[in-house]
Amino acid sequence: MIDILFILMLAAAAYMAWNIGANDAANSMATSYGSKALTLKQIIFIASILEFCGAFFFGSRVTHTVGKGIVPIQLLDPHIVAIGALAAILSAGIWVTISTYYHLPVSTSHSIVGSMVGFGLAAVSENLIDLESIRWGVLYKIVLSWIISPLSGAVLAFIIFSFIRVLILARMEVEKVEGIFRYLQVLTACYVAFAHGSNDVANAVGPISATFGFSETPAWVLALGGLGIAIGVATWGYRVIETVGKRITELTPTRGFSAEFATATTVLSASYFGMPISTTHTLVGSVLGVGFAGGLASVDLSVVKRIIYSWVLTIPAAAMLTISLYTLMVVFL
Amino acid sequence: MKFIRSVADVFGYSPFKAIHQHSEYCEIAIDLLVDQFEAFIRGDKEEIIKLEKEIDELEHEADKIKAEIRTNVTKSLRLPVDRHDLLSFLTFQDQIINYAEHVCHMFTYRETKNIQPAIEKKFRQLLYKLNDIICKYEELIDHVAGLIATSFSKREITDVLEHVNTIEHAEHECDTVQIELHKLLLNSNLDPMDVILLRNILIHLGEVANSTARAADAFRTMILGR
């Protein structure tokens, strides 16, 4: 029975990883396409390799938090953990797919955290664990990191672009500066891909790691996640990169560099602290930061409201979906 | 395209391209006015009416652009300039083509014969001056791209300020020609009806120049009011 559950879980995680690669990775890489720093092929090449590297070499901390940090899995039967983990990945995948269809700016990170909370609550309702044994402290830190990360992106991007503006753009020919930053943006594109892989891989494989109990998550789990993301970028992400990239052509290399550097630094720091944050929301914060520093012709603040709505919606929606799926599976499996 | 999560929504509507397009329409309208004046002097009715239609059409298109900008520049947008400054600047720029449109109709009101060469010459001089102003104005609006690219560097702002000065200077020259033309007209032995028409045209051409200077001034306010 556990074998079937495990295979299903791998499939669901692979789908989630693919979705993350196709959409989130593509969005963060589109900034390099919009500024024409890289061609589509180059971006896909860089994204596939560095997303994988980030996931494989630096993805374990966030994976640990998602899989083992929220629900006290050591108190639960392995069979229950397997069912819960499967329900969590499935509902995160379903929720992300539905809300993407309706153009809600949801985050895969928020979805998976909401799902794990749902799993925990389902276990509580079955009297398998106490409500207090769910690690609310960790959850509190995670929610705090969701608020801090877009702000950090905005502040960093604001500072970086202001420096570029005052120290470089004001003194040198614009074309020359943009030319130089076109090359630098190749580096930040790699940086973003690596950071994104290190943080978002957990959204796909975090629940799998839960089934391994408190032993170390095997490297192949992270490799599976990294591979799924890379394939997502290559098979669907290029369309997203093209679509998004065409709409953000005003992100010139200096602006793109600032936004990417701020995003990648924030996301990688979050990975270091094991916090599953939203790369997309951080990127939105960073772009707004560049806008506030006077770097863009126009930024639309209404997107912030939509992001906050989708936060508030995602946690209960993902949690309830998980509870439903979990209950169904417990009854039928 | 469905099944895409996009960060592109954070990039808001940018009104600057549309403003540039609008200013180009102003310039073309003045160009056509010069042609219409020549047709008026020749007494070429067909050409006068054809140009009237063209200018009228341009004004209509410019109005559409103005409406587009006004609808899209909402409160949730953060632009590098103040929103109210931008919208009031746009109102002034729109006046340029509005006055040009008034004039294009006036040329059709009445056939005027035997205009003295001196008056004709002064009129032409006035129109050329107007053309000069609007060209300079167009160059001023061209600066927007540079302002945004350098994110309002001091150098670029200094250039803009100088440019506004040259436009104000040109407008002053226009005033001088207007005064001379008034004197010529009111002391000529033209049919009084012709004098009324020509004076009306003259006054409205003056308004084109004034509006251009006012738009340039509002542009300066907008750039400095960040």
pLDDT tens per residue, range B24-39: 999 999 999 999 999 9
Sort out which chain A residues have CB atoms less than 8 A from B8's CB and list them. Answer: 30, 243-244, 247-248
A16 touches chain B (CB under 8 A): no
Test the B interface: residue of A298, A302, A306, A310 with most B CBs within 10 Å: A298
**Domain assignment present for B59:** yes
Could you give the dihedral angle defined by the CA atoms of residues B87, B90, B94 and B95, in that order, rounded to the nearest 10 degrees? 80
Nearest to B74 by CA among B120, B15, B129, B138: B15
Q: Count the domains in chain B.
A: 1
**Domain assignment present for B46:** yes
Q: Hey, are the CB atoms on B151 and A291 less than 8 Å from each other?
A: no
Residue B97 near residue B127 (C-beta atoms within 8 A):
no
**Amino acid at residue number B88:** S
Looking at the complex, report in whole angstroms how far the Cα of residue A299 sits from the nearest Cα belonging to chain B.
4
**Domain assignment present for B217:** yes
**What's B16-56 look like in SS3?**
HHHHHHHHHHHHHHHHHHHHHHHHHHHCCHHHHHHHHHHHH
Looking at the complex, report in whole angstroms how far the Cα of residue A158 sits from the nearest Cα belonging to chain B.
13
Domain residue spans of chain A = 2-135+148-332
Question: A300: which strand partners?
Answer: B77
Closest chain B residue to the Cα of A285, Cα to Cα: B10
Closest chain A residue to the Cα of B153, Cα to Cα: A170
Closest chain A residue to the Cα of B77, Cα to Cα: A300
The predicted-structure confidence for A302-333, as pLDDT tens digits, reads as follows: 999 999 998 899 999 999 999 999 999 988 87
Domain that holds residue B93: 14-224
**Domain assignment present for B2:** no
CATH code of B187's domain: 1.20.58.220
Its ipTM equals 0.86
Q: What is the pLDDT along chain A (333 residues), one digit of tens a residue?
A: 668 888 999 999 999 999 999 999 998 899 899 888 899 999 999 999 999 999 999 999 999 999 999 999 989 998 999 999 999 999 999 999 999 888 888 999 999 999 999 999 999 999 999 999 999 999 999 999 999 999 999 999 999 999 999 999 988 999 999 999 999 999 999 999 999 999 999 999 999 999 887 677 889 999 999 999 999 999 999 999 999 999 888 899 999 999 999 999 999 999 999 999 999 999 999 999 999 999 999 999 999 999 999 889 999 999 999 999 999 998 887
Closest chain A residue to the Cα of B13, Cα to Cα: A298
- Token pair 């503006």 is found at A165
B4, B10, B79: residue with CB nearest A23: B4
A244 touches chain B (CB under 8 A): yes
B6, B77, B154: residue with CB nearest A170: B154
Q: Which residues of B touch A (CB under 8 A)?
A: 1-16, 74, 76-80, 146, 148-155, 226
Which pTM was predicted?
A: 0.92
B6, B80, B155: residue with CB nearest A27: B6
Test the A interface: residue of B11, B79, B156 with most A CBs within 10 Å: B11
Looking at the complex, report in whole angstroms how far the Cα of residue A302 sits from the nearest Cα belonging to chain B.
6
